[in-house]
Amino acid sequence: MSNFVYMFNEGRADMRSLLGGKGANLAEMTNIGLPVPFGMTITTQACKEYYQSQRSFPAGLKEEILEKLAFVEAKTGKKLGDIANPLLVSVRSGAVFSMPGMMDTILNLGLNEQTVQSLARNTSNLRFAYDSYRRFIQMFSDVVLEIPKHEFEYLLNEQKEDIGVVYDQELTVEALRSLIDKYKELVRSQIERPFPEDPIEQLFMAIEAVFRSWNNHRAIVYRNLNKINHDLGTAVNIQSMVFGNMGNDSGTGVAFSRNPSTGENIIYGEYLMNAQGEDVVAGIRTPQPIAQLQEDMPDIYDQFVRTVHILENHYRNMQDIEFTIEKGKLYLLQCRNGKRTAQAAVKIAHDMVSENLISKQEALLMVEPGQLDQLLHRQIDSSAKLSVIAKGLPASPGAASGQVVFDADSAERIAKTGCKVLMVRMETTPDDIHGIIAAQGVLTSRGGMTSHAAVVARGMGKPCVCGCETIKIDYTNQEFTIGSTTVKVGDLISIDGSTGRVILGEVPMKDPELSTEYTHLLSWADEFKTLAVRANADTPEDAAKARAFGATGIGLTRTEHMFMGSDRLPHVQQMILAETQEERQQALACLLPIQENDFYGILKEMEGLPVCIRLLDPPLHEFLPNLEGLVVETTKLRTSGENPAQLAEQESLLKKVRQLHEFNPMLGHRGCRLGITFPEIYEMQIRAIFNATAHLTKEGYTILPEVEIPLTIDKEELAFFQKRIAAIAEEVTKDFGVEFHYCIGTMIETPRAALLADELAEFSDFFSFGTNDLTQTCMGFSRDDAEGKFLPPYLEYKILKENPFIALDRKGVGELMKIAVERGRKTKPNLITGICGEHGGEPSSIDFCHHLGLDFVSCSPYRVPIARLAAAQAAVSQGESLGTR
């Protein structure tokens, strides 16, 4: 029989796939002797089997729960449902990968009409007992019985009004008793049976509700966003209750062992006295900073600080800790590796190496490469004049501007139209997740740094300002006010999540300043990585940016972008429309100095580093006006009869565009096929590259150009170009009287090229995998159409696990790459191999390229730091595949 239930003293931290993150850590904390209220964990396997057996408990599960419950009861000296000394428990979800707030929790389970009296007797506090009972009924009814929360809120507010009080804490014993009766009446009317009184029945119903909550809407959205497998299931933790709401010597809080926003090594947290469970994270009351605890309860504070250090040293990572103080005694309810901003992630990883807590390799593995993106984006220009209207808590750094919206559905709807929105809420709940995804940032008027909005925004790397209490939100009129200023829905505002500022209008931004911790961490990445990281850059400015971000070469210069500017497009069009070779040569002669100048700039920026320049690739019609527009214009001219000369010109253009029209241009007249049909175009480009190289060499620079032939399918294509390239190199050498170095290679973008790599390598110094096209040609998916048309259902039905245009398809495209590398190197052992498709900047694909033994990855300049870190992680993680879950 499988083991579905583990008591806390039976588990370990490394059992997280079975016990979930929370269960594994509760077990670990129990085993290192920390004060954890005792309990047990039902495994994720039980949840999976619950779903496999059409939502029923797997055989043996109930018996095992009861058996282990008896141990928990023995250990705590209390018994579920016992009249003298009742055990009360919390029932909480606990997934393998943390999904904060996405699933359900029930507190105070075990209360009924009898045990509530025992609780009152044992604590000498009838008010506390009734308050706990009414909270339990409310929570259980919402989560388990699925009766809407607001029905209970309505009764609660009515009760407060009846006795003329404002706050929940002011409800009297009698008022609470009457409220409990009203709650029960509501339940009976909704489910046509009384509220369950039997604690064992309550327990089984609650466990099932937690299993069900794995598949609630917000949990599914969260998993999709974070690429968490939907089949993992959740564990369920059943833990004996401790109470933070037993009076003013009790409380509950959440803390991080270091600041999760900046990374500063100071315990960072918040707590509320006389409060229970979710009150702190729910963001309903703004809590006290943890430093205040030192004054309120100095002994508890000292014990807490010691415990935090024990946990950080034990886990060698920044910890997120939930605690409760019950009548002056500290308990730990949960710990896990804390979510943090990119800035904090880098600082913490760096500082922990300086503190000799972790190695450089561990530090490199501690930062998610994709997170670095947040650091490289623009920030508010400090020299700009800003109209700051309010200040809240700086909950997640970065700046964002957008139109104000007041609810998640509007955020999603308006963002879909292409507008940037900022979501403004009193507080957010897990049901708002789709709005946070759609918004540029979040502003809340309530809640602390650990409120839902803050935690989720940080996780997504979005700016967030929370607890901005000076703004008064009016949902009905769709506006908020600060003093005499009113901001209406649709108005533009900006937030600065690094300082907490709320600013009227849009703000000017500037390039970010990178910390020394960042520079150190990335220099460690360079120490360990074996893949070189190059950049895709088409201009000297991009090349300079790439170099500044740490690129050690250019992996792809797309020369077609140089054909587009207004000073060159007319020559390009003239070249395409030319009727004779002379006409074409004339146009090319005009383009030559322009191209030469382009290459001069890029090669100079990258002095001493390889620069791979691809000869013209896209179909020529891309440089001409579009067919539909031309037909309309020509028809207009023809019917007006006013300008016969212009009409003749238009008609000849139309004829040419029709000639060039293709049914399937991506598989048509493009790539090196262009160079074969119009050799003079490639010859002009090759000459421009070599002229620029010779020029710079003469000026004393070390220039390393690589001439790249796109979309090949056969070695004879390469043989065709090789002769011409050699001849032009010789001519340029003579013209300039200077020798220079160059090499020739090809892109591998078709399955045939990959399969015939041994032959292609006879004519190539390097291969660069153009995995955008290779994915298209391998899968038969048009790269221009797939994502907008049929890929979404492929992903939804899990026919494909990931979008192959984002994460490399290892089984198909990856296999072709493997074959090409092996066959190519058989012919030429020192063949250089790299990747320059979009996958070259995607961490899990970089991991694959590392294990394939490529020499370089190439990606856009802003992704270079991400690629450096991902390449280092691939090297230090010793074969473990990162980035896939």
Q: Which does 515 bind (CB under 5 to 8 A by kind): Mg ion, ligand PEP, none?
A: none
Question: To which H or E segment does residue 862 belong?
Answer: none
Answer for the pair 875, 836: CB distance below 8 angstroms, yes or no: no
Q: Coil, helix or strand for 473?
A: strand
Q: Which among 836, 839, 850, 859 is annotated as catalytic?
A: 836
Smaller CB separation from ligand PEP, 722 or 772: 772
Least Cβ distance, residue 9 to ligand PEP (angstroms): 54
Active site residue 452: yes
Smaller CB separation from Mg ion, 207 or 711: 711
773 contacts Mg ion (rule: CB under 5 A): yes
770 contacts Mg ion (rule: CB under 5 A): yes
708 contacts ligand PEP (rule: CB under 6 A): no
Stretch that binds ligand PEP, among 252-260, 387-395, 657-665, 765-773 (CB under 6 A): 765-773
Q: Which residue has the tokens 């090669």?
A: 603
d(CA 395, CA 457): 8
Structure tokens at 195: 């509220």
807 contacts ligand PEP (rule: CB under 6 A): no
Q: Which of residues 550-569 bind ligand PEP (CB under 6 A)?
A: 556, 558
Stretch that binds ligand PEP, among 321-329, 491-499, 569-577, 771-779 (CB under 6 A): 771-779
Answer for the pair 35, 334: CB distance below 8 angstroms, yes or no: no
Smaller CB separation from ligand PEP, 427 or 749: 749
Q: Which residues of 193-206 are buried (b: 16+ CB within 10 A; e: fewer)?
A: eebbeebeebbbbb
Stretch that binds ligand PEP, among 220-228, 304-312, 750-758, 767-775 (CB under 6 A): 767-775
Stretch that binds ligand PEP, among 330-338, 394-402, 495-503, 764-772 (CB under 6 A): 764-772
Q: Which residues of 648-679 are buried (b: 16+ CB within 10 A; e: fewer)?
A: eebeebbebbeebeeeebbbeebbbbbbeebe
Smaller CB separation from ligand PEP, 24 or 820: 820
Q: Which of 615, 380, 596, 684 is nearest to 505 (CA)?
A: 380
Answer for the pair 481, 503: CB distance below 8 angstroms, yes or no: no
772 contacts ligand PEP (rule: CB under 6 A): yes
Q: Which residue has the tokens 């190695």?
A: 359
Choice from 836, 852, 875, 876 touching ligand PEP (CB under 6 A): 836
d(CA 134, CA 522): 54
Smaller CB separation from ligand PEP, 709 or 836: 836
Q: Which does 287 bind (CB under 5 to 8 A by kind): ligand PEP, Mg ion, none?
A: none
Q: Which of 791, 705, 792 is nearest to 740 (CA)?
A: 705
Smaller CB separation from ligand PEP, 307 or 559: 559
Q: Which of residues 602-641 bind ligand PEP (CB under 6 A)?
A: 617
Q: Which among 350, 434, 452, 571 is annotated as catalytic?
A: 452
Total binding residues toward Mg ion, as defined by CB under 5 A: 3
Total binding residues toward ligand PEP, as defined by CB under 6 A: 10
Least Cβ distance, residue 710 to Mg ion (angstroms): 6
Stretch that binds ligand PEP, among 190-198, 373-381, 508-516, 770-778 (CB under 6 A): 770-778
Choice from 351, 517, 749, 855 touching ligand PEP (CB under 6 A): 749
For residue 158, give Cα distances in angstroms to 130, 183, 297, 852.
17, 12, 36, 67
Is 796 exposed, middle or buried, given 0-12, 13-18 or 19+ CB atoms closer than 10 A? exposed
773 contacts ligand PEP (rule: CB under 6 A): yes
Smaller CB separation from ligand PEP, 305 or 779: 779
Q: Coil, helix or strand for 444?
A: strand
Q: Which of 440, 470, 467 is nearest to 452 (CA)?
A: 467
770 contacts ligand PEP (rule: CB under 6 A): yes
Least Cβ distance, residue 687 to Mg ion (angstroms): 23
Least Cβ distance, residue 749 to Mg ion (angstroms): 5
Q: Which does 104 bind (CB under 5 to 8 A by kind): ligand PEP, Mg ion, none?
A: none
Active site residue 377: no
Least Cβ distance, residue 884 to ligand PEP (angstroms): 21
Question: DSSP character for 57?
Answer: P
Q: Which of 147, 237, 236 is nearest to 192 (CA)?
A: 147
Answer for the pair 184, 152: CB distance below 8 angstroms, yes or no: no
Stretch that binds Mg ion, among 489-497, 722-730, 749-757, 780-788 (CB under 5 A): 749-757
Q: Which long-range contacts (CB under 8 A, 24 or more apart) does 21-25 make?
A: 21/94, 21/95, 21/96, 21/97, 21/98, 21/336, 22/92, 22/94, 22/235, 22/237, 22/334, 22/336, 23/94, 23/235, 23/237, 25/334, 25/335, 25/336
d(CA 516, CA 263): 13
837 contacts ligand PEP (rule: CB under 6 A): yes
842 contacts ligand PEP (rule: CB under 6 A): no
d(CA 546, CA 539): 11
Greatest extent of the chain over all pairs of C-alpha atoms, in Å: 105
Least Cβ distance, residue 108 to ligand PEP (angstroms): 58
| Count of other CB atoms within 10 angstroms of residue 341 | 28
Q: What does DSSP say about strands 472-474 and 479-482: parallel, antiparallel, or unpaired? A: antiparallel
Smaller CB separation from ligand PEP, 558 or 818: 558
Stretch that binds Mg ion, among 66-74, 395-403, 629-637, 747-755 (CB under 5 A): 747-755
Structure tokens at 719: 């043989």
Smaller CB separation from Mg ion, 177 or 783: 783
Smaller CB separation from ligand PEP, 258 or 863: 863
Helix axes 627-640, 644-660, angle to 10 degrees: 150
d(CA 746, CA 403): 47
What binding mask, one character per residue, do residues 501-540 give for ligand PEP by CB under 6 A, x or -? ----------------------------------------
Smaller CB separation from Mg ion, 64 or 809: 809
Residues forming the site for Mg ion (CB under 5 A): 749, 770, 773
Q: Which residues are catalytic?
A: 452, 836
Residues forming the site for ligand PEP (CB under 6 A): 556, 558, 617, 749, 770-773, 836-837
